[in-house]
Every structure is written in C-alpha cells, then in structure tokens.
Structure 1
C-alpha cells in the first residue's frame, strides 16, 4: 500500500501534469485546466454549522464561479446559531467532512483540511504536559556561608506543571556549579557557598498557556508543543482515531503560519542541545537570558540555541506531521514563515510549501486605486515569497501555494483590479497555486451580507462582485495552467546565510515572520543582491546549508534533488559567518565542476563550542584559495574541474561565466521562465505606468508564440532575429512560448496604425437587475457618471448589478481590429456587442478586442456592471442595522479596531467611462 501511495505522490508532483502541447495540426493550445490549476479558497466553517443541503448549495456556487477546491478551516461561530454547531471531529462533524469530499469529487473539486481549528495547532487533547512550553528562569543570590531560605519552585501563577530542569550557581570569579542534585523534593537547596557572592539561576520548563486562537466548537484547548515529538504524536492521534486510521479523501492537510507565541523551550531541550551542539547549555543559563545585546559570546550562544530550536521544529513537528499525513494517503501544505528555524528547510520538508500576502503592494499601474487606509507598515515582498518557491523548486516539487489577499484592502472595498497585480507578484515569485483568503461558509437563509470572517476579502456568493468572479478566476486558472507545467528554469542558486541572522545577542527565540521582513531580511546583503539580480534579469532560487549538503555537481551544474532543474552557478552573498561543513560542501561542489561566486569570503564560524579550533580550520581552509586576477574586479581560484570566483561585482562575474541576463527587464517588464520539454515559457508582466510596444530580446531560441491569459488569444509573434514584438499595456500580462517545434498558429494580430476614436456618446439606459437593499428605478443617462451621483435616492446605498445599454453607428468596417475601451469602471463589467457576449472586463485596462462582433451601420452595446459592497454596508452602519454578531472576535477593521463604515465616503459605482472604440489599420 505504501508503494502505491508513493507512486500516486510521484504522479502528482513529478509528472508533467497536462502539457501545453500542440494538436495534430501543430497548433499550440492552452493546457487543459485541472482543478488544482484553478484558484482554491480557504473555507471558514463558522461554528462548524454546516449541513448537507447548504454544503450542496455553496459548493455548486463555488464550482460555477471557477474555484477548483476548498481548504476547510473551522473557527468560532455566529451568535444565535449554537444549536447548529457541530463539535470538531465528532461523528457528526466527520459525516459533514465525508459528505463535503464526496460532493466535491462529483464537482471535480478538491478538498484540503486544517489539521486543527483556528490556529495554531492545539485543542482539548493537548493536556498541560503536551502544551507549548517556555523557559522560566528564576534568579537567587547567596553570600558565602549563607543558605537559601526560600524554596526553588516556579513563582509564576498557573505554572503547576513547571518542571525544574537545571540549577546553576555562578561565582564572582567566573566559577560555575551544577546544583540540580542539591535541590530536595520540597524545593529546598542543600548547598551553601564557602565564600564570595554567588548568583543562582534555576531553569524551569513552564507552559505558555496559549490557547488555540479563533477555535471552533470542540477545538478549544492549549496550543501544542511543536518541538516535542511525543506531544505531536499525541496531538495527531486524535485525528487518526477520529478517522478510524483510514484515508478521508483529503488532498492535503494544512498548517497556518507559526504563531506559537513565547514557546521558547521543550522538556528535552537540554539533552538535544548537548547532543547537537557539543556542550552543556545548563552551564550557560545566565548568558542565555542575559539582556546584554552586544556581547559576542552571548550572540554565539543564542545562535546555537536557535539552531537547536530549528532542528527540533523540523524533525519533531514538520517531518513528523508530513509522515503522518502520508500514512493517510494525503499531502501536507505548510506556512513555515513565523517559525523559529531555517524557513527554507521547513518549507522544503512538506509537499506543498505555502507563503502568504498580507496588506497591499504599491504598483505604478495607471489608474489603479490604492487607498491610504489600506497601507500597512510592510508591503508584501516578492523576495519573501521566494523562500517558499525556492524550497519547492530545489526539492523538485510541482506545487507551491499562497494564502492570498489577506487584508488586501479594508473590508468590502476590494476590487478584482486590485487583486490582479498582487496575484501576479506571486506568480513572478514562483507561486503557482493560489488560495484566496477567503470564503466564509454562509447558509442560504442568513441575511445579507451573510456570515463573514474578520480578515477576509469576502470572496463569496454574497459579494456584489461575485456574478463576475469568473473573470478573475479564469485568468488565474489560465496562468496557473502554464505555471504548473514543466519545471522552473532558474540559472542561479543563492545561499542564504542563516547564521548571520541567528547570531544576535538580543532576545531568545527568533521567529522569522512575514510581517517583520524589514527587521530580519531587508538589511542583509543577501536581500540587496536578490533585488539587484531580479532587476537585472536573472532568475534564481535560495539554498540552505542542509540543501547544499545534499547537492551534487553533474556536468558542471548543481543538482539539488533528483527531479529539480539544475543550476549553473552557486552564489554566496557577503556574510560574516559560515558553517565549516557548509564551506566544505561548497568546495566539493566546485572541485566536481561547479562555478561558485563569493561576494566576499566569510570571516568567522558560528556558535560557541570549540571556537578557536574551528576558527583555525576556517583560516586553514580559506588559505588554500589561491586566487588569480581574471578581470578588473574578479579573482579566480581554479579547483578540480570547477572554479571559485571572488568579487563584489556579481553581474560581471556572471557575464564572465557566460550566464546571460534577460535584457527584457530593461523595458520595466518583469518575468518568470519555465522549461517544458522543447518549449521555454515566459510569463511577462507590465506593472509600469507605461504601455510597452517593442521587440523584446529573448535568450531562448525558437519560434515564438504569444498567449494572452485574459482573453485566451494565441498567435505567432513577429520576430527580428531573436527578438519578438510585444504590445503590453500598463497592467497587462502575456505568456511567450519559445519552441523548437514548427507550430502553425495564425499570426498575432498587432495593433498598428491607430484610427480616429469613436465616442459612444449616445444616451444610455440603465436598468438594475440584482442587489440591495432595494432595486432602484431604471435611469436614462445623457452622460455616464457614477450611479451614486444620480437623483434616485436608493442608489447611494445600492450594491449589485446595473445593466447599461446603448447604440452606436459604424459608418464602415475597414479596420483590421477595433478596441473597446470602457475607461473607468467601478468595479467590473461584462460586455455584449450586438447580442453576442464579448467577455468580462474586470481589471485595468478595461479594454478588449471587438472587431469580430461589429457590423456596418447600427450596433448595440450592453454592459453589465457590478459594484462594491461598501456603499450598502455604509448605509447599514449609518442606520445601525445589526449585521455582525459573532463569538470571540466580533468584527474588526484593517487596523484591528471595531469596524464602523458609517463615516465612509460613497464609493463610485457603475460605468463612468468615457466609452470609446478605436479602429486599428
């Protein structure tokens, strides 16, 4: 059975999935879209108040809107519906899970599941002895000849389960004594110093007492001790028993970002530290909890402490949990950020690494709205996202996912136009499996706006934008259908110097959070180098010390895993510390034929144990690097079959080694590149404020085909040598397929000579078809304006669908193509010309080709527009209509303060235009 599952696993991750392949006629087509290529969503089960009828109802709606799967996360419930709550993992809850999986299978959707409720992992099965643990230190002082009168017991309240693990006395002359055996059962200390002043430090394994945050009914309890294998095993057994030790059809079990606050310890820490670091941490308790933030020895000690935390979390939780999931024929999907460990290894130890976006990014896209109220202290960072994608790429994994759009804007104000570039930044970072954050399960009988989660973008059927959700969903599906085939083609592997981060005398554990990248990531030479290489047009992934220990050189390239794409060069950014074993591994890679570039040679070894001996070894190793000048700024050390280069000018060294950058980035375009058999696939994104029409230089050689993921159009590109012409407006994207096959697609229809614009300035009829709180009366418009500016009083509060119709005359149809430009749309529009559906214009620029729909003479146009929920919510708060009433956290705004929309200004709504048609000849 295990062998069968491994074959299934291999089929999921190591096959080419559905290839972007040519038909019998030699034409390039879009890949067939499978459910994992569509966007999925985190699916909040409020109070676990689910039933088969409503599960049927909502899953069908999700399917029809273009979602490919759901990720069940049970949380707290709505007040007044307690009788409908199901206890987590009860027989009734299991029936609901099984029904969901069955229904999803019928709909060709997938189901993932949080291995818990709320976050982080914990619950009623986590008794105090298995709960998250913290180090408690108590300090006593004794003079020579004195005896300690108080008993050594944990003084902190509610620490009945605290276990005394070490007692160390420190003399004024630097002496230390282990006093643990001198502590009696009642806590009395049977010891007295002979002379001098002694400080005594007692170390207890105490409990954080953190409870599961946002827990669902039946999921309440202490947070788990993730660092202790026995505790993790006890936790997972609850699920195994509830599942009767049988697979449940769950594709992947999910773990949210590590938010185990204050969990600085585990009962086995002293033993693990001594085994792995080689010395007794109990002798260094005073330094471990020291407030001195400048002492070098303390920084080294804490580096060793953090490395031990990393090992415990990796082995006792992450790998352990993944092995458990595989036993149930499921995968694991993990958000490793926030963990006190090496993020690359923690991401890499699961089947689907997952990053997240939190807040909004600044884009130069012309006309894109970004409200000041939506700006948080740190924007989502593509380099941070590359930690998850790097772990997937270097491990040969097909899928890498993201919790997407968390707090992208304030509630009810998120447009699809704002979602698009944020998703594109993820794709450019190597993410290819988007999960919305999120969709709250809301039964059909719940009044509008339904049940809502306090940090979601309301990606649900009650959202007034929902009727046109297919626009965004289909775009993401097309993109992911291309980004999930083949393998990434990144030529560079960049070492991440984790010891430079760990070597810090401040604090204790070090959680590397996605929200704190300005503290632990942005100041580093590693980050600056990554940004510079991105802008220059290079593609890369990150490597950890553990990854390099398993990397081999094959035909002068670096192979990180059997199914991973090879890398041409290893780059070691400027770093102060390097592990001796890592340096030896790097030297071996070069000796076997690899090219390694050091931005600067490391200066020291990390950690505290056997320090001088290890420093001597580092010095001896580096002394063997006999460099010769090979360029103005480059030193070269030939070793074995390969070479080690030393230079601050990484780009010059890459050029010397014939590693070409993609010059297309000089235009401002961003890209990511994948290899699929004989095809190279480029994803091109224009996040600049300008429209680009140029011949792009492309490093890959072959016939070039353009694919537009917004409208599905495919055509052969015009070429000049190895350049291809692209026309890509601000806010638009294109895929470029470079193939050695002789494909027979028709030529791409470029927009060349622009003719005179046709203004659609006839009157418009506006009719409202769906929404609330009331359907407004139909309107006759001589000029397009926001419908909130019209005299109809119901329109100020209206959120829903308005249908605009008008006519225009086309004197002659002589253009090669015609472009409809709606200009300002708030927020999404579906267009028909002469009764034929053109498509959904849901993002900037609100333009599309309509030549094939036009006719000479009189033409009709219909534009169905959906606006935001904001104005209706504003009205409800002005009138103090109760629409939010939840247990635990009720409902908050983007700053986590009580939500109140009553002071909002009205959001513009509808088709504002001006609407024009431009012929091209």
Structure 2
C-alpha cells in the first residue's frame, strides 16, 4: 500500500490557537437564531430559521442563473427560510448541462445562489461533498474508509505455516490493502511477527512448538460515494484518520482559495460508512487511550464464544473507534468550519460511537424521521401498501435535542419525512402529526426531505429524487405549501424562543451497548433500535416518564462531568439549561469517574436517583482495581429506608436508590404535567420564568375541558399555530399552578403562553360549545378545475358535494391539480361573541378557503376545520373552497400511457420497497371534497 501523504499541520495549529475564540463566536451565532423579546399576545418574530428549510438536490449540477433565481423566488414565496444544497446524479438527456463539482462554473452558480438567497433573506447550507457520505476524487485509496480483515493460521516449528499469508477475501483484494499486523499466541505467550514475514510462506522466526497466528489485514472497504454528482465520484473518506480528514478539508481550502461563499452551514449526513471499523493508526491510538496493547488480546476479542473479558475488550475497541471519530473528524471539522465563519450541521445517528457526545460536538445537531407512524387520529389515511415496514421512534430524536440542550445550542434540526409514504401519495395531513412528534422531541428547525431543483422547461412531474417527498414546484400540492409552512413557522418561532424546560436528565449507559458480546463494530442506526435501544431500561424508563408527564433530556458520562449545581438544580451550558433530577437507570457498566461525579453533584445539593447500583466498570485494563474503587464509592453511601426506596444524604443533596423511579419522583414531591392523562402530549419552554406549552392531541378523542398546568401565572394566552389566531384563555391560578380551558380535537395543536404579567388588551379566546348550532351547506355546488393536468376537466354543477374522481369523466380521474368548489350560505344574524367554525368534513387532500372574497386560511390537516368568525356577515355569504389533490392520478396516467418521465443516471427511480416504480396499476386516488361541509356556530 502506498505511504500516506504528508499533511500540513498549519491549519490544525491555527485552529488550536483560536479554538476558544471560535467557540465563543459559534455560541454567539447560535444565540442570534433566537427571536427577540416575546410580546404577550403576539407570535415571536419571523426569522429565516423559524421558517422551514429543505434539502435541495442539484441533479447533475445542471443549474443555471435564470432558473436558480426564479426557483428561489418561488421558494421564498411559499414560506421556506433556507435550502441545503446537495449535488447528486443527473437526469439523462441533460449531460451537456452538467457542471463539475467545485469547478469554476459550479462555484459561480453557488455564489449566485447565495447572493440571491441573501436578497430574499433566505439561508443556504451545503453538503461538503456530493451525495453521501463524505468522499470523492480527492480521497485516494490510502485516505479511504478502511476495514479490518482477520485471518487465522497455524505455525509449527519445522513445518512452518499451514498456508500462505495472503488476503483471501476476493472482494477486498480488488482494492488496495496490506498486511497490517501478524501476531502469534501460545499458552499465554504472545509474539508480534509483523516485521518477521519474509514472504507469504516464510517467517524470519524460529520458535519451538505450535503457535496460533492471527493476521490483521488493513483493507479498503471499497465504498464509493453514493449518488455522486459529476465531479464528485470517488472513495468514501476514512473518518477515523486525522491525516485523511485534514487532507479532505485542505481540498476545500484549495478549491475555494480561502474565499468561501456566504453559506451558513456545512452539513454531514447520517454515518453510512459501511464496514469501516479500522484505520492505520488504530492499534497505536488504542494503546494510548486504553493503556494496553490490544494486539496481545486478539484471540479473546475475536472469540466465537465471548466471555466477560471479551465483552471488556470489545467495549474498549468500540470506545476507541468513538474517540477517533470524535477527535479526528467531528471536532476538527467543526473547528475548521467555525474558522471560516460557518457552522456545522451533523447527523450522528448511524455512527459507531456515543451519539450524545458526537451530536454535542457540532453547532446544529440533526436527527431524522424515516417511515410513517400509526396515529389514533380518526380520518388519517394510512394504506399499508404505501408505507415502509418502519415505525419512527421520536425518542431517537432526543439524542440530538438533548445534546443541543446540554451544550447551549438553540437549534435542533431534523431530516423530515424520508420515505413518509409511497411517491406521490403523501399529504400534508399525514406529514403534520409526524412532524409534531419531532417537535415534541425537541426539534425546532425542520428540513424537508426534500425538494429537487427542476428547470421550468422540464414537464410534469419535473426532476425527482428517488427517496424524497417530492415537494417541488410541479407538485399539485405546491400552491397550498405556504399554508403548511405557515403552521411550521409559527410553531418553530415558539420552540426557538426561551430555553428548554425539562425537569429530568436520564443517563445513557453507552458502555452497556459497547459491551454487547455480539459482533465487533457497533453502528447505532435508526433502523437498528430494536436491538440497541428498545430492550434497555434506559429506553423503557424514559418512555414511561414522558408518558407520565415529565420532560427529560439524555446525558452522557462526559456531560455529567460538566454539570454544576445551583440552588438544588443542575446547570449546564453556562447556566442556560437547568434540570432538577439526574436519573441513572439500571446499568451494568459505569466508569468510576461517572459515579464520582454523580456523588459529587449530590454533595453540592443535587438529587440523583439510581434505579439499581451499577454492577461493574467497563473496559479491560486494570478492571479489578477499578471495580474495587467503584464498589468503595457505592459502599461509602449511607442509605436509610424510605417509602419509595432508600436515601443517602450527601452534603447538601441526596442519592436515591429506587427501582420504581416514578414512585421516587412522587416521593420527592416532583410534580408531573397531568394533562397527559387527557391524551395530550406537550413540550414546555421557559422564557425568563414564563412558560410556553406546546400541546398536541394525537389521541382519538376530543379534549374539551379545563386542564392543569404545573406552572401558574396571571394569564394564559392561547395561540392557534394552524390559523395564527390568538386570544386570552379562561384560566385560574391556585398555589402556583394554573388551569386553563382548551378545545382540542384529534389532530389539533395549541400553544399556551403562561404570563406572569398583565396580558394587556388581548381579545378573549372563542371556545367551542358542547352543542353548537349546525348550518348544513347543501348543493348545488359549482366545481371548476383551475390548474393542473394532464388536461382540465369541464366545469360542472353538483347536486351534492362529492370528490371530482366520482364524476363520470375520465379526465377528472386522471387529474392532479387544484379545483374550486363554490357555494353560499345564509345567516339571519351574526353574533360577534359567537365562534363560527367551517367544518369541511373529508378533504382530499388540502383546502384553501375564501369567505365573501376574503382569504381565510388553508385547511391541510385533520380535522379540516377553520374559524371563520371574522369573515361571516348577515345575509348571504359566498364560499369558495380550492382543493388540491395528490400527484398520484396524473402519474398513473403517464405510466398507463407509457409517457417517459423517470430517466435518471444511477438508481433512476424506485418505489417505496426499492423495486422498479410503476404506477400503471394503481387505483384512482379519491380527490376533491367529500364533505359534508357545514357551519358550526358556538354560542
């Protein structure tokens, strides 16, 4: 194998010199994303980060200034706040328009994009490479992702080796490799023969008896960048090698000549570097970190029947891989980006490391939603044939949000709606509760997955990415995109205000995972949570406590080491983040330092709850003496019996031992949010002592009652994020707690701003009544098709409301676009104190409503109701309802008529199961307005 090139360390030295300064600058840049002081009765200010952002695929980099300008203007008008550029493979037939990644022409387009976006007050992020993961033509074989291949041999004195020492893995031998290490073992004796191999069959070694030999080959994984753009093809980067990472970063220094465009962030996708479990310096770094030579223990590390020693060796191996990923890639990458005035945005999931610490090392931690969840909300469409066999778990997102909270970062992003459903069949009504789960998990800066750059000259359905929600300007839902984005912007403006307000911190016992006897490398993927997350006490207790009404974050060993205590509360991130109780769920392995830190925090006034005593220490080196130290620390605690368990008073605080954590919290007097008993979910933010409650009803029942809030105030302002309506709620304060009246149907959300001040002149909130007056809006209805294709059906008059796909018109069955339902209703009088609600019934799939020529709002999710109190008048009221359907029927038409629309390089286009895509046998998707449409008058 070729010798690795010498890498200049000047950049690294500069980064070290200025690291403290850069950390301050990075923190300041994060604080600037927070809205200014919140005014009672108003939404927080609109910022580019409070708006939703999106992944933006540049197919083949076939972009031009005219289309870039026009598209950015459309995106801004639709309510997007920024885009994340991701160059990928291109469409066939457009090769003459492809631009080479990082070429002068490509950089000119990037500069134009940034300038135009800036003029629109939009932000631009950039993946640092093409496709994913990091890699490309700048990554030579010796800098590419590496794997460890182990082969076993037998050596007998006088007979030699049992076979030649050559790489036997045929696939690996296609790429560059070398014999890295050769070790010999005999009855406790170990010899390093790495320098004694003359050729494949001869050793410069003469030892008596028979020996077992282990050969470790360092080989390329051979993985290439997935979905690479022109100019971006090449090997995947070795993320564990500091020299490889520095070489990669230096390539961008050279490419941009120090003049980096005005992007906000460099972005790194989920860690999908398959099989990468080694690097050239691994054994040296291992010995430096763990205090012993792992090569002397390879038989135990690789044992087919692992024992306690094997578990310990594997834990050390995995911790070292984590250290290299954190210290050789994540931290240097962030420091490098910060040195150029940029931040980093990173998906740590999938990494073979401690996800919390990896997320914490970047400026914007990012999670991912993949697949679709089952909700009890009546009327939510979920066809099993159109979804992947994956149930997203919002608790997985809390690794990213917890890392941000504990390190004082305001923004937590997510790649949202990846494979939400089959192409062209996903509606806003399905996306909304999925996104709300992410919000409830602490996400406040969502990114659509995604949107593809598509020139105006390209016919329907435009250029499309194979795993996307496909929300481009050709989408029949696009004219209603602004309505859904308005909802997101309002919610995110609240969730980016103040600070997170969670009572509990839950310790994540990563060493239990690292000590798993199965396998060697341990990639903690979103798709593998049934193995590494769900069976654990950590997960089960976290889920239980959240369902009981507590807010919590996850903490790592290093995060516990950074906590302080003030007035009985745990402080992190310079005092911005506070929490009341640290919980240690049942865990087998705990470092001595972690237990020391937990006890020290208790002595300073903190409360720490252990579900069970930790059993032992992780790792192999000197583990017996470390285990004695751990036992001595625990034995030094003097426990007294309590009703809920045992308590040891330590200094000004306490250590609790209680198997039932919930009972212990009750025994300590910690109050939960009982509103969860009504079927509501919540997230709470603190604004200098005032509170924001974000409430969501994902249950199957309406909640129409007064609910208790743990934090009281002089007033409770209710804020509807779907329509933007604000009003003063009915509330009462008793003993520091509040109760507030709410109406939340299944699928609805609400924000409650609990004030400690006079609310001022805010109109009263209009509530639903138990028995509203119902005004049915019957036919005839006029139905006019206004935009879409493949052709516009004829305007018709309907005796009764019904979907247009039930018309006796093939053109209507094939149609995707927008159509207008028109009617009128009469009111004998209008009560200004009453609440007038337009209930649209079943909408397929999104609606935009006008009353008397004035636009009311968009109805994009169940239960498809709009408050029209400010728009109705005495006498005749004109009603116009624009309905947008899905793209599915028009796509089916294209495939039935063999009209070519999917013609891409590489993967081309696949269905949700990654098979060939063909919509020709799809059934017609019901489209339009089924109703019944009625007016509910709440007096």
* Map of 1:556 onto structure 2: 568
2:921 pairs with 1:903: yes
Structure 2 residue 890 is matched with structure 1 residue 872: yes
| Offset of residue 282 of structure 1 | 0.8
How far 1:16 sits from its partner (Å)? Answer: 7.5
Contact 2:155 2:162 (8 Å CA) reproduced? no
SS at match of 2:150: strand
Q: In structure 2, which of residues 222, 233, 236 is the aligned counterpart of residue 223 of structure 1?
A: 236
* Residue 15 of structure 1, CA deviation: 5.1
CA contact (8 A) 2:153 2:162 kept: no
Cα shift at 1:139? 1.6
CA distance, structure 1, for counterparts of residue 21 and residue 76 of structure 2: 30
Q: Secondary structure at the match of 2:793?
A: coil
- C-alpha separation in 1, matches of 2:581 and 2:571: 11
User: CA separation in 1, counterparts of 2:895 and 2:911?
Assistant: 13
Q: Report the counterpart of residue 688 of structure 2 in structure 1.
A: 677
| 8 Å contact from structure 2 (residues 160, 202) kept in 1 | no
**Aligned partners of 1:247 and 1:620: how far apart in 2?**
55
* Structure 1 gap segments, 5+ residues each: none
| Residues 1:498 and 1:871: Cα distance change in structure 2 (over 3 Å) | same
Q: Following the alignment from structure 2 to structure 1, what is the Cα–Cα distance between the partners of residues 99 and 386? A: 36
Work out whether residues 596 and 643 of structure 1, in 8 Å CA contact, stay in contact via their aligned partners in 2: yes
Work out whether 1:123 is the aligned partner of 2:123.
no
Given that residues 834 and 854 in structure 1 are in contact (C-alpha distance below 8 angstroms), is that contact kept between their aligned partners in structure 2? yes
Give the aligned partner of residue 163 of structure 1. 178
**Structure 2 residue aligned with 1:804:** 821
Classify the secondary structure of the residue corresponding to 1:535: helix
Contact 1:717–1:748 (Cα < 8 Å) also in 2: yes
Deviation at 1:465, TM superposition (A): 0.4
Q: What is the DSSP-based 3-state SS (H/G/I as helix, E as strand, rest coil) of the residue aligned with 2:516?
A: coil
C-alpha contact (below 8 Å) 2:26/2:363 kept by paired residues: no
* CA–CA distance in structure 1, aligned partners of residues 158 and 202 of structure 2: 16
Alpha-carbon contact 2:197-2:203 (below 8 Å) kept? yes
Quote the offset at 1:11 in angstroms.
Answer: 3.2
Distance 1:324 1:185 in 2: 43
Which residue of the other structure, out of 414, 417, 421, is the alignment partner of 1:409? 421
Deviates more, 1:747-756 or 1:182-191: 182-191
| Partner residue in 1 for 2:606 | 594
**Corresponding position: 1:784 with 2:801:** yes
In structure 2, C-alpha distance between the alignment counterparts of 1:108 and 1:264, rounded to whole Å? 43
SS in 1 for 2:181: strand
Partner of 2:4: none
Q: Does 2:75 align with 1:62?
A: yes
Paired position in structure 2 for 1:140: 153
TM score, norm. by length of structure 1: 0.97
Distance 2:873 2:169 in 1: 82
Q: Which moved more, 1:863-872 or 1:8-17?
A: 8-17
SS of aligned partner of 1:33? coil
Partner of residue 38 from structure 2, selected from 21, 30, 39: 21
Change (3 A) 1:16 1:132: closer
**What is the Cα deviation at residue 162 of structure 1?**
2.0
1:618 pairs with one of 626, 630, 635: 630
Residue of structure 1 in register with 2:116 after alignment: 103
Deviation at 1:190, TM superposition (A): 1.9
User: Does the 8 Å CA contact 2:91/2:903 hold for their aligned counterparts?
Assistant: yes
Q: Report the alpha carbon displacement of residue 564 of structure 1 after superposing the two structures with TM.
A: 3.3
Q: Which moved more, 1:674-683 or 1:751-760?
A: 751-760
Query: What secondary structure does 1:876 align onto?
Result: helix
Aligned equivalents of 2:829 and 2:593: distance in 1? 75
SS at match of 2:898: coil
Distance 1:82 1:187 in 2: 52
How far apart are residue 488 of structure 1 and its match? 0.3
* CA distance in 2: counterparts of 1:213 and 1:797, whole angstroms: 35
**1:20 and 1:29 in contact (8 A); partners too:** no
Per-residue CA deviation, residues 226-260 of structure 1 (Å, 9 max, x unaligned), is 00010001111111111111331110000000000
Normalised TM-score (structure 2): 0.95
SS of the residue corresponding to residue 684 of structure 2 reads strand
Aligned to 1:178: 192
Alignment partners' CA distance in 2, 1:673 and 1:358: 25
Contact kept, 8 Å, 1:146 with 1:193, in 2: the verdict is no
Q: Equivalences for 1:292-441 in 2 at 5 Å?
A: 292=305, 294-441=306-453
> Any idea what SS the aligned residue of 2:84 has?
strand
* 1:754 counterpart = 2:771: yes
Residue 473 of structure 1: CA displacement? 0.2
The aligned residue for residue 660 of structure 1 is 671
Q: Tell whether 2:740 aligns with 1:727.
A: no
Instruction: Return the offset for 1:193.
Output: 3.9
Q: CA RMSD in A?
A: 1.6
The SS at the match of 2:49 is: helix
The 3-state SS of whatever aligns with 2:659 is coil
From 447, 451, 454, the counterpart of 2:459: 447
Kept in 2: contact 1:150–1:188 (CA 8 A): no
Deviation at 1:656, TM superposition (A): 2.5
1:108 to 1:847, Cα distance in 2 relative to 1, 3 A: same
Residue in 1 that maps onto 2:300: 287
Whether 1:838 aligns to 2:838 is: no
Q: How far did residue 177 of structure 1 move?
A: 2.1
Offset, 1:791: 1.1
d(CA) in 2 for partners of 1:226, 1:428: 32
1:874 Cα deviation after fit? 0.9
SS in 1 for 2:369: strand
* 1:525 CA displacement: 0.3
The alpha carbon displacement at 1:532 in A equals 0.6
Q: Which residue of 2 aligns with 1:690?
A: 701
Task: Report Cα offsets for 1:145-174 as digits up to 9, x if no partner.
Answer: 321275534344436632323211122x34
Aligned to 1:33: 46
SS in 1 for 2:558: helix
| Aligned-partner Cα distance in 2 for 1:418–1:81 | 34
1:176 Cα shift? 2.5
* Residues 691 and 728 in structure 1, CA contact (< 8 A), matched pair in contact too: yes
Shift of residue 447, structure 1, vs aligned partner: 1.1
Q: Measure, in 1, the Cα distance between the counterparts of 2:362 and 2:902.
A: 37
The answer as to whether partners of 1:248 and 1:328 remain within 8 angstroms in 2 is no
2:420 is paired with a residue of what secondary structure?
coil
- In structure 1, C-alpha distance between the alignment counterparts of 2:163 and 2:438, rounded to whole Å: 58
Match of 1:190 among 162, 186, 204: 204
Show structure 2 runs of 5+ residues with no match: 1-13
Q: How does 1:398-547 map to 2 (within 5 A)?
A: 398-547=410-559
The structural deviation recorded for 1:881 is: 1.3
Identify the residue that residue 660 of structure 2 maps to in structure 1.
Answer: 649
- Contact residue 161 and residue 201 of structure 2 kept, 8 A: no
Provide the rounded CA distance (Å) in 1 between the counterparts of 2:204 and 2:576: 60
Q: 1:114, CA displacement in angstroms?
A: 0.1
Question: Which is further off, 308-317 or 751-760?
Answer: 751-760
* Match status 1:743 vs 2:772: no
SS of equivalent residue, structure 1 residue 102: helix
Name the SS of the counterpart of 1:777 in structure 2. Answer: coil
Give the superposition deviation at 1:860.
1.5
Q: Which moved more, 1:554-563 or 1:361-370?
A: 554-563
- Give the corresponding residue for 1:770: 787
1:10 to 2, 8, 27: 27
Bigger mean CA deviation after superposition, 715-724 or 770-779: 715-724
Aligned-pair CA distance for 1:6: 5.9
**Separation in structure 1 between the aligned mates of residue 548 and residue 739 of structure 2, nearest angstrom:** 18
Matches of 1:188 and 1:134, distance apart in 2: 25
Structure 2 residue 63 is the aligned partner of structure 1 residue 50:
yes
SS at match of 2:198: coil
Match of 1:256 in 2: 269
Kept in 2, the 8 Å contact 1:146–1:192? The answer is no
* Paired residues, number: 913
1:152–1:189: 8 Å Cα contact kept in structure 2?
no
Deviation at 1:286, TM superposition (A): 2.5
User: Aligned in 2, Cα 1:166/1:8: closer, same or farther, shift over 3 Å?
Assistant: closer
Matching of residue 794 in structure 1 with residue 808 in structure 2: no
Q: Say which is worse superposed, 245-254 or 681-690, in terms of deviation.
A: 245-254
Q: Is the alpha carbon distance of 1:260 and 1:436 closer, same or farther for their aligned partners in structure 2, counting shifts above 3 Å?
A: same
